[in-house]
C-alpha cells in the first residue's frame, strides 16, 4: 500500500504591491507567485492548509490589493494591523512562533517601502529556521524534509533538501500566479487583529526620492598617444591574446576545444 | 563576336558579397582577389585592399618600390607600454574593508571588479591612513589577477564544504573573519548567485541593518562611518539616501574598477580552525535542464552556426551532445537554416554566455557587438584572417564538420569513461 501523504501547514506572507507604471496598489507579483506555489502544494499534498498573513496598516487601497490574493481561491486572510511606518518583522515573527507552520513562503522583496528583501532573512534569523531563496518549485515533502528546486541565473536549477520548518522566498522564476476572481475576493474575510508595533525610526530618518536614472558609464580611454585613442574610439575587433591553431588535424583542434570547455566547466 | 565582353552581373555580385555561400568558388574562378584588372569600359581598376602589408605601428602600408617588408617586432614594445600600473603596498593598514566577490565561473566578474573599485574608494579616502582591501574567496578559483583588481589581502578558504549552495558554512566562515579581523566595512555584490543571499544573512548575524542595492557613495562627516550612500528600494522605483552602514550590498557599476595600480594580494589565513557547521540544507547538485528551453540572452554555453556550416544535421547533433544552446548568425537565419529567435548580434539577441563557440562565423561587426560580453569565445573557421579569429580566445582553422565530429566523439568518450568509473 502506498504510504499516506500527510498535508502540511503553509503560511504565505503577502504584501501590498505597487504597479510599476501607474503606481497603484495591486497584489505584489512575487507574493502572488508564492501563493500560487502554495496552492499547487495543497493540490500535490492533500490535506495541506494554506493561510495568508499580512502585517501593515488597514486602508481602502491596501484592502483592495489584499483581496486580490483572496480572489485566487482562499476564504480568509489574517491581517496584523499596525500603524503606518512601523516594523512588520517583530509582529510577524511573534505570530509565526505562536502557531508555527511547517513552511513559510514569501516574495523575495517588497514593491513598496525599503524593499530590501531582508524580511525572510530576519524571520529566519529570529525563528532559527533554515532559509532557501529563489525557489522555482517544491518537488515533494516527506517525513519533515522538503525537496526543493532552486532557480539559478542563466535558467539553471539546483535541487536542495531542507529540513522543515523552513522559510522559502520566491522570485520571478516561480510559476506565474493565476488570475484573481472578483466575486470570491469580495466575499472572503479579512480577519484583522491589532498588534503592538514599534515605529521604524531608522527608515523615518532616511531621505526617500523617486528613483533617478542612473548615469550611464562612459568608456574612458587612457591612452598616451593620439593613435591609441583613435584606435580605441574606432574600436573594431582587435587581435587579442587569442591562441590560433592552424594546420592541425581535426582531432588536435577538437582536443584543444575540449580542454577549454572542461576548464570552464560548461560540459555536464 | 569574340570581341564582345560578356558580363555576368550575378557572378560579379556574388564576388563582391563576402557572405554569399558561393563567394569563395566564384572568387577562385576569377583568380582570387585581384589587385588590378581591366574594367568593363577598358579602364584599369585597382583594389588597394588587396595589396600592401601592416606596418610596425599597425598601419597599412603600400610599398610602391616593389620590395615588400613588414615587421612584427613592435608587439613586445606595445606590451611593455601597457604595463604601467603603479605598485602599491599597504604594510600597516589602519582598517580593513572586507569584500566577498561572487566569483562566477571561478573568475572575478565585472560586478566584482566594480565592487573592488568601491572598496578601494573606501580604503584610500585618507591617504595618510590608508586601509587595506581584504577579499574572502571560497572554494576553488581560476583567477590570477587579484592584485590588478585592487586586493591587498587575500583570504582563500579552500574546501568542498563551500561548494554549491552552502550558506551556513560560508556564514560561519565570515563570522570567524569578523571575530578575528574585525573589518570596518563589509561589501558584497547584490547579485542573485553570490552576495544577495550571503550578504543579507551576514548582516543579520552581525545585527546590522544593511544597505541593499547601493549604487553611489559620497563623503559625509555626520555619518557614523564618514560616508553616505544612495540605494535603490521599492522594486527599483525609489532612491534611498542614508548613512553607509557596516554591511553594504552594491549593484553593478557602483564604482569604477581599479586600473591604475597593482596591489599585493598577500595571502592571509585565519588562526582559529573553522568548525564544520551542521547544515540543515543539503545540496543535491544541479539538475539537467533542456538547453533549448533556456533563453538565448541568458544561456551559459552557446554553440552558434554561420555561413560556414554545411552539414546542419551534425551541427544540431553536436549542440545536443555538448548540452549547449543553439545560436546563429544573420546569414544562417536569412538562408532559413535557423529560426529568427536564434539570431545573435545587433539585430538579434545580445548574449551573455560564458563560453561562445562560433562555428563557421566570419564575424561581422554586428555579430561581434552581440557577443561583446561573452567571456570565452572559441572559433572554428576555414579563413584564418577573419574578424572572429581576432576576437576569439581559441581559434581552430579547419573544416567545421570534421572538427565538430571529432569533438562530439571525444565528449561522448569522456562521458562514457565517467559513467564506467561511477
Answer yes or no: are the C-beta atoms of B361 and B304 closer than 8 Å: yes
Residue A154, domain member (yes or no): yes
Choose among A131, A150, A257: nearest Cβ to B407.
A257
- Mean pLDDT over each residue of chain B, to the nearest integer: 84
Apex CA A85: angle with CA A84 and CA A89, to 5°? 110
Cell of A151: 532557480
Report the C-alpha dihedral over residues B12, B14, B17, B22, rounded to 10 degrees: -150
Distance CA B305, CA B343 (A): 10
Apex CA A79: angle with CA A76 and CA A84, to 5°? 155
Beta-strand ranges (E) seen in B39-127 are 44-46, 53-54, 60-61, 86-87, 96-99
| ipTM, two decimals | 0.85
Does B289 contact A155 at a Cβ distance shorter than 8 Å?
yes
Instruction: Identify whether residues A240 and A135 lie together within a single domain.
Output: no
- Residue given cell 568558388 in the structure block: B25
Q: Is the predicted pLDDT of residue A123 greater than 70, yes or no?
A: yes
Instruction: Identify whether residues A117 and A25 lie together within a single domain.
Output: yes
Instruction: Identify whether residues A190 and A243 lie together within a single domain.
Output: no
Contacts of A243 in chain B (CB under 8 A): 393-395
Does A205 contact B285 at a Cβ distance shorter than 8 Å?
no
Mean pLDDT of B393-413: 91
- A184-220, pLDDT tens digit by residue? 999 998 888 888 888 888 888 888 888 888 888 877 7
Smallest Cα distance from B324 to chain A, Å = 8
Does B280 contact A217 at a Cβ distance shorter than 8 Å?
no
Residue A219, domain member (yes or no): no
Distance CA A44, CA A141 (A): 10
Domains of chain B (ranges; CATH) run 9-67 (no CATH), 87-268 (3.40.50.620), 292-421 (3.40.50.1220)
Contacts of B201 in chain A (CB under 8 A): 121, 125, 131
Phi, psi of B173 (to 5 degrees): -65, -40
Instruction: Identify whether residues A19 and A120 lie together within a single domain.
Output: yes
Does B212 contact A237 at a Cβ distance shorter than 8 Å?
no
User: Choosing among B188, B403, B416, B417, which should be mutated to test the A contact, i.e. which has the most A CBs within 10 A?
Assistant: B403
- B341-396, pLDDT tens digit by residue? 899 998 888 888 889 999 999 888 899 988 888 888 999 999 888 888 888 989 99
On the 0-12 / 13-18 / 19+ scale of CB atoms within 10 A, B205 is: middle
**Total Cβ atoms within 10 A of residue A190:** 16
Instruction: Identify whether residues A196 and A243 lie together within a single domain.
Output: no
Instruction: Identify whether residues A176 and A252 lie together within a single domain.
Output: no
Instruction: Identify whether residues A48 and A83 lie together within a single domain.
Output: yes
What is the pLDDT, as a whole number, of residue B418? 60
Residue A116, domain member (yes or no): yes
What is the pLDDT, as a whole number, of residue B66? 56
Domain boundary among the residues A158, A173, A205 is at A205
More confident site: B177 or B4 = B177
- A63-122, pLDDT tens digit by residue? 999 999 999 989 999 999 988 888 888 899 999 999 889 999 999 988 888 888 899 999
Instruction: Identify whether residues A52 and A124 lie together within a single domain.
Output: yes
What is the pLDDT, as a whole number, of residue B378? 93
Cell of B177: 573573519
More confident site: B16 or B317 = B317
Residue A177, domain member (yes or no): yes
Query: In total, how many domains does chain A have?
Result: 2
**In 3-state terms, what secondary structure has residue A84?**
coil
Tell me which residue range forms the domain holding A198.
9-205
Q: Is the predicted pLDDT of residue B273 greater than 90, yes or no?
A: no
- Residue given cell 550575378 in the structure block: B10
What is the pLDDT, as a whole number, of residue A241? 66
User: What does DSSP say about strands B153-157 and B132-138: parallel, antiparallel, or unpaired?
Assistant: parallel
Smallest Cα distance from A135 to chain B, Å = 12
- B105-125, pLDDT tens digit by residue? 788 888 899 999 999 999 988
Minimum Cα–Cα distance from B394: chain A residue: A243
Q: Is the predicted pLDDT of residue B19 greater than 90, yes or no?
A: no
Does B285 contact A158 at a Cβ distance shorter than 8 Å?
yes
Contacts of A227 in chain B (CB under 8 A): 57
β-partners of residue B390 are none
Lowest mean pLDDT among A160-174, B73-87, B150-164: B73-87
Mean pLDDT of B227-231: 90
What is the pLDDT, as a whole number, of residue A71? 92
Residue A159, domain member (yes or no): yes
Instruction: Identify whether residues A34 and A165 lie together within a single domain.
Output: yes
Smallest Cα distance from A39 to chain B, Å = 24
Minimum Cα–Cα distance from B403: chain A residue: A250
What is the pLDDT, as a whole number, of residue B64? 72
Residue A52, domain member (yes or no): yes
Residue A214, domain member (yes or no): no
Q: Is the predicted pLDDT of residue A1 greater than 60, yes or no?
A: no
CATH number at residue A17: 3.40.50.620
Instruction: Identify whether residues A122 and A253 lie together within a single domain.
Output: no
Contacts of A113 in chain B (CB under 8 A): 233-234
Instruction: Identify whether residues A144 and A253 lie together within a single domain.
Output: no
Instruction: Identify whether residues A36 and A132 lie together within a single domain.
Output: yes
Amino acid at each position: 500500500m502506498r504510504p499516506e501523504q500527510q498535508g502540511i501547514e503553509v503560511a504565505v506572507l503577502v504584501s501590498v504591491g505597487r504597479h510599476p507604471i501607474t503606481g497603484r496598489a495591486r497584489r505584489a507579483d512575487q507574493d502572488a507567485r508564492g501563493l500560487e506555489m502554495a496552492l499547487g502544494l495543497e493540490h500535490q499534498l492533500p490535506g495541506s492548509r494554506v493561510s495568508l498573513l499580512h502585517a501593515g496598516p488597514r486602508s481602502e487601497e491596501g484592502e483592495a490589493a489584499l483581496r486580490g490574493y483572496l480572489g485566487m481561491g482562499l476564504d480568509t486572510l489574517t491581517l496584523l494591523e499596525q500603524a503606518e511606518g512601523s516594523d512588520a518583522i517583530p509582529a510577524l515573527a511573534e505570530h509565526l512562533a505562536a502557531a508555527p507552520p511547517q513552511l513559510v513562503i514569501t516574495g523575495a522583496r517588497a514593491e513598496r517601502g525599503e524593499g530590501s528583501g531582508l524580511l525572510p532573512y530576519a524571520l529566519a534569523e529570529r525563528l532559527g529556521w533554515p532559509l532557501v531563496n529563489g525557489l522555482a518549485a517544491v518537488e515533494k515533502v516527506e517525513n519533515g524534509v522538503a525537496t526543493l528546486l532552486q532557480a539559478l541565473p542563466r535558467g539553471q536549477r539546483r535541487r536542495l533538501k531542507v529540513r522543515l520548518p523552513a522559510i522559502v522566498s520566491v522570485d520571478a522564476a516561480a510559476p506565474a500566479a493565476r488570475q484573481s476572481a472578483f466575486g470570491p475576493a469580495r466575499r472572503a474575510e479579512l480577519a484583522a487583529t491589532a498588534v503592538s508595533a514599534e515605529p521604524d525610526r531608522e527608515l523615518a530618518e532616511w531621505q526617500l526620492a523617486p528613483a533617478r536614472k542612473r548615469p550611464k558609464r562612459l568608456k574612458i580611454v587612457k591612452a598616451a598617444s593620439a593613435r591609441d585613442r583613435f584606435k580605441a574610439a574606432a574600436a573594431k575587433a582587435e587581435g587579442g591574446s587569442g591562441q590560433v591553431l592552424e594546420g592541425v588535424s581535426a582531432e588536435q583542434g577538437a582536443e584543444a576545444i575540449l580542454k577549454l570547455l572542461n576548464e570552464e566547466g560548461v560540459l555536464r | 563576336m569574340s570581341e564582345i565582353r560578356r558580363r555576368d552581373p550575378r557572378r560579379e555580385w556574388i564576388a563582391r558579397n563576402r557572405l554569399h555561400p558561393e563567394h569563395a568558388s566564384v572568387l577562385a574562378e576569377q583568380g582570387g582577389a585581384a589587385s588590378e584588372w581591366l574594367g568593363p569600359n577598358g579602364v584599369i581598376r585597382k583594389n588597394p585592399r588587396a595589396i600592401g602589408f601592416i606596418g610596425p605601428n599597425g598601419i597599412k602600408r603600400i610599398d610602391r618600390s616593389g620590395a615588400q617588408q613588414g615587421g612584427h617586432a613592435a608587439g613586445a614594445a606595445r606590451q611593455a607600454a601597457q604595463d604601467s600600473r603603479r605598485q602599491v603596498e599597504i604594510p600597516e593598514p589602519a582598517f580593513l574593508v572586507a569584500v566577498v566577490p561572487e566569483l562566477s565561473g571561478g573568475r572575478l566578474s565585472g560586478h566584482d571588479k566594480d565592487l573592488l573599485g568601491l572598496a578601494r574608494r573606501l580604503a584610500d579616502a585618507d591617504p595618510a591612513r590608508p586601509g587595506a582591501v581584504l577579499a574572502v574567496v571560497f572554494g576553488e578559483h581560476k583567477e590570477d589577477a587579484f592584485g590588478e583588481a585592487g586586493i591587498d589581502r587575500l583570504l582563500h578558504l579552500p574546501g568542498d564544504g563551500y561548494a554549491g549552495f552552502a550558506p551556513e558554512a560560508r556564514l560561519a566562515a565570515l563570522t570567524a573573519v569578523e571575530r578575528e579581523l574585525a573589518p570596518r566595512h563589509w561589501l558584497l555584490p547584490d547579485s542573485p548567485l553570490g552576495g544577495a543571499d550571503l550578504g543579507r544573512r551576514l548582516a543579520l548575524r552581525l545585527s546590522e541593518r544593511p544597505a541593499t542595492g547601493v549604487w553611489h557613495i559620497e563623503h559625509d562627516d555626520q555619518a557614523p562611518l564618514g560616508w553616505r550612500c544612495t540605494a535603490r528600494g521599492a522594486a527599483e522605483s525609489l532612491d534611498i539616501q542614508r548613512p553607509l552602514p557596516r554591511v553594504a550590498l552594491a549593484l553593478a557599476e557602483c564604482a569604477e574598477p581599479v586600473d591604475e595600480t597593482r596591489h599585493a594580494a598577500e595571502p592571509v589565513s585565519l588562526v582559529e580552525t573553522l568548525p564544520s557547521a551542521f547544515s540543515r540544507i543539503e545540496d543535491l547538485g544541479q539538475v539537467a535542464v533542456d538547453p533549448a528551453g533556456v533563453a538565448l540572452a541568458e544561456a551559459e554555453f552557446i554553440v552558434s552556426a554561420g555561413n560556414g556550416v554545411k552539414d546542419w544535421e551534425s551541427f544540431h547533433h553536436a549542440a545536443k551532445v555538448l548540452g549547449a544552446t543553439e545560436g546563429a548568425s544573420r546569414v544562417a537565419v536569412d538562408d532559413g537554416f535557423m529560426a529568427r529567435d536564434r539570431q545573435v548580434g545587433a539585430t538579434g539577441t545580445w548574449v551573455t554566455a560564458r563560453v561562445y563557440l562560433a562555428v563557421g562565423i566570419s564575424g561581422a561587426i554586428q555579430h561581434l557587438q552581440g557577443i561583446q560580453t561573452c567571456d570565452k569565445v572559441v572559433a572554428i573557421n576555414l579563413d584564418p584572417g577573419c574578424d572572429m579569429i581576432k576576437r576569439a580566445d581559441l581559434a581552430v582553422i579547419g573544416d567545421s564538420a570534421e572538427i565538430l565530429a571529432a569533438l562530439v566523439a571525444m565528449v561522448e568518450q569522456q562521458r562514457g569513461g565517467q559513467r564506467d568509473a561511477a
